[in-house]
Amino acid sequence: MVLGYLLVSFGSAGELYYYAGMLLCGIGWASTISIVFAIYTESVDPEKMGLNMSVFNCSLVLPALAVPGLLSLSTALGGGRWMFVLFALCLAVSFGFWCCVAERNSHGNPDHAR
C-alpha cells in the first residue's frame, strides 16, 4: 500500500501511475481487513486481546475519521498530492510496528527470539 499511495501521488505524471496505485491500495486494504485480522488474533496473548484489538481497530478507524478534515486541508492548500505521501509515510510506520508483534511458541508464550 505504501507503493500504491506513492504511485497515486504521482498520478499527474500519467494515468498508469494512478490506476496501478489504486490497484495496489485495493489489494492492500483487502488483505489488511481479512488476512491480518485472522493471523493477528491467533498470535496475540488472549489476556491482552482487548488492548491489541483496540490498537488494530485504531489503525483502521482513526484514519477514516480524519479523512474529512484532511480533505478540507488539502483543498485549502490547493492539491492532494502531499496527502498521499503522508499516507505512505504513515503506513510505513505502521508496517514497522506490525513487524514488532511477537509470535507465540507452542507453549503460548511470546517468542522473542525473532
90: number of Cβ within 10 Å: 14
> What is the structure's pLDDT at 23?
92
The full 3-state SS of the chain, as one line of letters, equals CHHHHHHHHCHHHCHHHHHHHHHHHHHHHHHHHCHHHHHHHHHCCHHHHHHHHHHHHHHHHHHHHHHHHHHHHHHHHCCCHHHHHHHHHHHHHHHHHHCCCCCECCCCCECCCC
Domain ranges in the chain are 2-98
pTM: 0.47
> What is the structure's pLDDT at 75?
75
Contact 94, 59 (CB under 8 A): yes
Pick the closest to residue 97 from 62, 67, 56, 57 (CA basis): 56
Encode pLDDT of 4-33 as tens digits.
Answer: 888 888 877 788 888 899 899 888 877 777
C-alpha span between 73 and 77 (Å, rounded): 6
C-alpha span between 54 and 61 (Å, rounded): 10
Encode pLDDT of 54-110 as tens digits.
Answer: 777 777 777 777 777 777 777 776 666 777 777 788 888 878 887 887 766 655 555
Average pLDDT, the chain: 76
